[in-house]
A and B are shown apart, each in its own frame.
Chain A
Amino acid sequence: MTKLVKPYGDTQNDGKVQLSFTLPVEWSEAADEAARQLAGKMGFSEVQVVDGRRIASGFSFFVLYASTPQGIDVETIHAPSVRASAMSMEEIDAFVTERIGRKVRVAGACIGTDAHTVGIDAILNMKGYKGDYGLERYHTFETFNLGSQVAVDELVRYTQEHRIDALLASQVVTQKGSDVKNFTALSELLEAQGLRDRVVLICGGPRVTNLLASELGYDAGFGRGTLPSEVASFIALTLAERLRHAVR
């Protein structure tokens, strides 16, 4: 049985949404009406323009409430999470010691021209994020934080020269799809150099999802709010799994 879910305002299936947008027109009552009709063209019904005002010459801002006729069957949605199986730092160290038997070499960088290291630092730096220690603190990880604005070919060379087990690429700036371009360039270059299967390849950033990561050929993608131990768990489990297959 399919079960369609609609947005919930105050009654099951009322389909209520709130919208806000700017139109490049001078404000007038006609502009409010234009906003209302535009929402209708988007497929919404019961459109109410609850606020419309001038924000600059030739620009108006609108807040709307409306109903959508659309629903979605959540059961059919596939978005694998990589954050479910996280272990604690101590558990991960014990796991790596037992199952891998050597230090795991992890390199991370903000690639391309991106200079925003907040994300990669939160995962790698000793201090970590939200009280969850960064990978530098783990006894069983050897980490190399290459910082900001690392060129993709430089990172690939580093991966080869330093026998990196897991590679973390971070992108915060997403303007004009620069993040996807850089992520793609990295996975393609690793592939071209025959290194792709030798590393656990992970991407991260506030707009990254695991689904996007798999589409780009990454082993995992971590978005906003990710804790270092979640990344560490994924690296440890994936590497152990690969070693198990390799031994066979």
Chain B
Amino acid sequence: MELRIDRSCVERCRKLAAAIADPVETFIAAHSTVSVERAVLRLLGVDGITAEEVPLPNAVVDSIAVDARGHGAAIPFGRALAETGLEPPALAHALTSGGCTLEQFAETPESAARGALRPYVDEALTRITARRAERTEALVRLPQLPPPLLYVIVASGNIYEDRTAAVAAAEAGAQVIAVIRSTGQSLLDFVPYGPTTEGFGGTYATQANFAIMRTALDEIGERLGRYVMLTNYASGLCMPEIAVMAALERLDMLLNDSMYGILFRDINMKRTFVDQHFSRMLNAYSGIIINTGEDNYLTTADAVDQAPAVLASQFINEEFAHRAGLPDAQIGLGDAYEINPDLEDSFLYQVAQAQLAREIFPEASLKYMPPTKHMTGDVFKGHLIDAMFNLTSVMTRQSIHLCGMLTEAIHTPFLGDRALALENARYVMNTARHFGDEMVPRPGGAIELRAQDVLNGCEALLERVAAAGLMHAIEAATFADVSRAPEGGRGFDGVFARAADYYNPFEEALAPAAVRA
């Protein structure tokens, strides 16, 4: 199906998104954050915890005086590498157990530091490139089923139970497994360490947990003859670090939104803008598809009213993603099926919005999220609403399809719930596989008019944001009715200006131009 929408309006929206991103990009280029620096250390091979269970990347970055942070963590760490001859993990232990300090090597020439860093930088990039190549090879040898890719969530709190659930879901037809994080992890200013068996509403994202799940999904993928993707969540105070861990453990997707943390987790906007940029550079390099979080606009306010905000956020997310070097196929822009089911013709509005996104972002890996807000505990009605969502997804050719659970709003999914949800999706998508190809929306009909209305509303919204500037627009509660101050929220104390000699050895290698070439 195809809508007749005003293409010039789409072009104007893209120009507005670029105008919105410009000043933010200037800010990003002049700043770094503690989590970016910790990500650099992780890439260099610093991993583990101190005797007090502080992650080593945190302990090393925290050992740098606040007024010296502007140079970045790499050069002082590189000086210590050059002088001590230790490997990065051993050096990190020495630095955090009183064996030596970064200051004691302050006189070492910067060139020596850069030289000492070089092999570890190359090693990290080689490792990530190898993981990316593994995925490419596996996708050829073990082809996925056609999109929409069926995506389900596991969230027991215990990584070993999650593994059982994930394998069962893959057998039932899941093509993407997301391990939901423990509620609250997005607000931790460190990444927990090691395998974990306790969590609330989810399981901690740790590198060990990533590896456990990757191994299990690779095994079941071989057995099923189709690659099973693994997803986790970068959003929060540790976006760049989680991007590193995901690259090293070959995750295939990461939730990564340029504004979600600001609006819905009260994370400082400057922190988020800087963090999302470096984390997305890493995602681009490692071949990871980002998933943006536009569904959140719809769950916190009326879905009909918020449709233009969803589209505006998609344009902004696309623009920031391009600037971090992500190609369209790696940009999973979000949307959700959240219109009140009691509303007459709500299905038409859902189709209009989903199809609009498909046409405006034809190459993007659109991520479609299931109904949650109007799911009540009536599992029978819920299963039916999910079927309508499944139909919308297949007829508008969404790329990534988060399967709705009939027990949404009751509990984190049972193993049987997931199997029922996957059966529902497989049935609807199979029975209506080419339905969208056969449909022509009535010219000037309700679907087309609604799509154009949303697009017009989006343009007006982007104009307001461009005029105010993104940071001030967020402060003026332009998005999701939430107001956040540029210097308010969590994590602002971890943002700092780059000194003239600031150095991040990975920036050059990951620079968008380098990745594209």
Verify if B301 is at the interface (C-beta below 8 Å from A): yes
A163 smallest CB distance to B (angstroms): 24
Q: Which of B172, B300, B412, B414 contacts A175 (CB 8 A)?
A: B412
Verify if A234 is at the interface (C-beta below 8 Å from B): no
Contacts of B184 in A (CB 8 A): 112-113, 115, 149
Contacts of B265 in A (CB 8 A): 115, 148-149
Q: Which of A7-15, A72-80, A117-125 contacts B (4 or more CB under 8 A)?
A: A117-125
The answer to whether A56 and B172 touch across the interface, beta carbons within 8 angstroms, is yes
The answer to whether B299 and A118 touch across the interface, beta carbons within 8 angstroms, is yes
**How far, in angstroms, from A57 to B166 measured CA to CA in the complex?**
12
B484 smallest CB distance to A (angstroms): 11
The answer to whether B415 and A113 touch across the interface, beta carbons within 8 angstroms, is no
**How far, in angstroms, from A38 to B209 measured CA to CA in the complex?**
36
Contacts of A173 in B (CB 8 A): 183, 200-201
**How far, in angstroms, from A125 to B172 measured CA to CA in the complex?**
41
The answer to whether A117 and B300 touch across the interface, beta carbons within 8 angstroms, is yes
Chain B's interface size range is 20 to 34
B60 smallest CB distance to A (angstroms): 27
Residue of B nearest to A113 (CB): B184
Check A22/B414 contact, CB under 8 A, given A118-B373, A173-B200.
yes
Check A55/B266 contact, CB under 8 A, given A174-B411, A175-B201, A175-B412.
no
**How far, in angstroms, from A172 to B412 measured CA to CA in the complex?**
11
The answer to whether A22 and B157 touch across the interface, beta carbons within 8 angstroms, is no
The answer to whether B416 and A127 touch across the interface, beta carbons within 8 angstroms, is no
**How far, in angstroms, from A144 to B200 measured CA to CA in the complex?**
26
The answer to whether A176 and B481 touch across the interface, beta carbons within 8 angstroms, is no
Q: Which of A125, A175, A206, A207 contacts B481 (CB 8 A)?
A: A125
CB-CB contacts below 8 Å: B383-429 with A: 409-412, 414-416, 419-420
Verify if B33 is at the interface (C-beta below 8 Å from A): no
CB-CB contacts below 8 Å: B281-327 with A: 299-302
Query: A205-228, CB under 8 A of B: which get 1 and which 0?
Result: 011000000000000000011000
If over half of A's interface residues share one DSSP class (helix, strand or loop), that class is named, otherwise mixed; here it is loop
Chain A's interface size range is 20 to 34
Q: Which of B171, B300, B414, B420 contacts A56 (CB 8 A)?
A: B171
Check A57/B171 contact, CB under 8 A, given A127-B301, A176-B157.
yes
Verify if A114 is at the interface (C-beta below 8 Å from B): yes
B14 smallest CB distance to A (angstroms): 31
The answer to whether A149 and B187 touch across the interface, beta carbons within 8 angstroms, is yes
Q: Interface centre among B200, B409, B419, by most A CB within 10 Å? A: B200
The answer to whether A22 and B171 touch across the interface, beta carbons within 8 angstroms, is no
Verify if A20 is at the interface (C-beta below 8 Å from B): yes
CB-CB contacts below 8 Å: A97-119 with B: 112-118
CB-CB contacts below 8 Å: A10-29 with B: 20-22
Verify if A178 is at the interface (C-beta below 8 Å from B): yes
Verify if B108 is at the interface (C-beta below 8 Å from A): no
Verify if B144 is at the interface (C-beta below 8 Å from A): no
Contacts of A149 in B (CB 8 A): 183-184, 187, 265
Residue of B nearest to A207 (CB): B410
Contacts of A158 in B (CB 8 A): none
The answer to whether A224 and B377 touch across the interface, beta carbons within 8 angstroms, is yes
Query: A38-72, CB under 8 A of B: which get 1 and which 0?
Result: 00000000000000000111110100000000000
**How far, in angstroms, from A173 to B185 measured CA to CA in the complex?**
14
**How far, in angstroms, from A125 to B200 measured CA to CA in the complex?**
26
Check A22/B201 contact, CB under 8 A, given A117-B300, A147-B266, A175-B157.
no
**Interface Cβ pair total, 8 Å cutoff:** 83
Verify if B168 is at the interface (C-beta below 8 Å from A): yes
**How far, in angstroms, from A176 to B202 measured CA to CA in the complex?**
11
Q: Interface centre among A58, A61, A126, A147, by most B CB within 10 Å? A: A61
B183 smallest CB distance to A (angstroms): 5
**How far, in angstroms, from A21 to B415 measured CA to CA in the complex?**
10
The answer to whether B201 and A56 touch across the interface, beta carbons within 8 angstroms, is no
Verify if B456 is at the interface (C-beta below 8 Å from A): no
Verify if B205 is at the interface (C-beta below 8 Å from A): no
Contacts of A175 in B (CB 8 A): 157, 200-201, 411-412
The answer to whether B300 and A114 touch across the interface, beta carbons within 8 angstroms, is no
Verify if B104 is at the interface (C-beta below 8 Å from A): no
The answer to whether B377 and A113 touch across the interface, beta carbons within 8 angstroms, is no
Verify if B182 is at the interface (C-beta below 8 Å from A): yes
Verify if B256 is at the interface (C-beta below 8 Å from A): no
Contacts of B187 in A (CB 8 A): 149
Check A22/B300 contact, CB under 8 A, given A57-B168, A59-B168, A173-B201.
no
**How far, in angstroms, from A61 to B412 measured CA to CA in the complex?**
18
**How far, in angstroms, from A148 to B264 measured CA to CA in the complex?**
9
CB-CB contacts below 8 Å: B25-42 with A: none
Residue of B nearest to A62 (CB): B416
Contacts of B84 in A (CB 8 A): none
Verify if B186 is at the interface (C-beta below 8 Å from A): yes
B181 smallest CB distance to A (angstroms): 10
Verify if B92 is at the interface (C-beta below 8 Å from A): no
B39 smallest CB distance to A (angstroms): 23
Residue of B nearest to A115 (CB): B183
Contacts of B481 in A (CB 8 A): 125-127
The answer to whether A55 and B300 touch across the interface, beta carbons within 8 angstroms, is no
Q: Which of A58, A118, A176, A178 contacts B300 (CB 8 A)?
A: A118
* 10 sample A-B contacts, Cβ–Cβ < 8 Å, listed by A number: A22-B416, A55-B171, A59-B415, A126-B481, A148-B265, A149-B187, A173-B201, A175-B201, A224-B377, A225-B376
The chain A residues found within 8 Å of chain B, CB to CB, are: 20-22, 55-59, 61, 112-118, 121, 125-127, 147-149, 173-176, 178, 206-207, 224-225
Pairs A-B, 8 closest by C-beta atoms: A113-B184, A56-B168, A55-B419, A22-B416, A173-B201, A56-B171, A113-B183, A178-B200
